[in-house]
Structure 1
C-alpha cells in the first residue's frame, strides 16, 4: 500500500498527472503529507530490499515534532512480527516509488532494538530516545 492508495480526502489527487509535487500550486505535495496516508507504506533499504512497513507515526505533542515511525518487520500475517521505532529523520520519502527509504541493511534492522506489539517501550524516556537515535546515527531533536 502507498500514500496515494490511502488518500481518502484527495490530498494528492491534483498532482497525479505529473507525480507528487509536479504542480506546486495544487495540493500540499511531498512537503506536507497526511499522517494517515503514510501508515502502511513500505520501507526499503537503499538497495531496494524490503525492510517492513510503517505501522504507526509517533508525534511528540509537546514539541510538535514527528518523533518516530514504528515499522513492522518479519513474521507472517502479523504473527511474530517485531516492531521498531525509527527516528523520523532516518527516513527519506521516495515519491517516485511511493515508499520510504531507510539507510540500513536488513541485518542491521534485525539487530536493532525492537519490541513486541503488546510491550511498547517508554518512548518518552530520554535515555531510551537517545539510544534509538544513536543506533540509527541520528541527532536527537530538541525537546
Structure 2
C-alpha cells in the first residue's frame, strides 16, 4: 500500500515503507516503523532504515517525527541531513533497539536532528 500524499492524516501502515530523501533529492532510506508515545498519542519517532544492500546490513535510526517533512509533490518524506552524516552516524541494529523511553537518549536524538523534543 502506498501513502496518499494528498492528505495530512495518514495511517501508520501506509507510511511504513515510504522513501525518505534529503533536500538534494538523495534517497536516505525508508521508514520501517513509527514509535508512538502512548501517553500523549503523538508520533515520537520514525524508524529509518538506511544503508546495506538488498535489505541486508541496514542500520536503523530513530528520527524525531518533527524532523521529517511531507513532500506531496515528490511523494516522499524529507529529512534535512547529508547522506554522509547518516553513513557516519550511530544507528542501531535491527535486533538491538535502544530504550526509547530513556529521556537522556531522547534528548540526544532530538539534538542530533536539531528539533525540539516532541513533548515540549
TM-score (norm. length: structure 2): 0.94
Instruction: Pick one of 15, 28, 31 that aligns with 1:38.
Output: 15
Instruction: Pick one of 71, 82, 94 that aligns with 2:71.
Output: 94
What CA deviation, in whole Å up to 9, does each residue of 1:79-135 have, x standing for no partner? 111000000000001111111000001011122221000000000000000000000
Partner of 1:50: 27
Aligned: 1:130 with 2:97 = no
SS in 2 for 1:3: coil
**Structure 1 CA distance, aligned partners of 2:37 and 2:87?**
26
**Structure 1 CA distance, aligned partners of 2:115 and 2:108?**
10
CA RMSD of aligned residues (A): 1.5
* Number of aligned positions between the proteins: 120
Structure with higher RCO (Cα < 8 A, 6+ apart): 2
**Structure 2 CA distance, aligned partners of 1:2 and 1:99?**
10
SS in 2 for 1:71: strand
**Structure 1 CA distance, aligned partners of 2:86 and 2:75?**
21
Q: Which runs of 5+ in 2 are unaligned?
A: none
Partner of 1:108: 85
Q: Look at both structures and tell me which one has the larger radius of gyration over its CA atoms.
A: 1
1:60 Cα deviation (Å)?
Answer: 0.5
- Runs of 4+ aligned residues of structure 1 deviating over 3 Å after TM superposition are none
1:49 Cα deviation (Å)?
Answer: 0.3
Q: Which runs of 5+ in 1 are unaligned?
A: 5-11, 13-19, 21-28
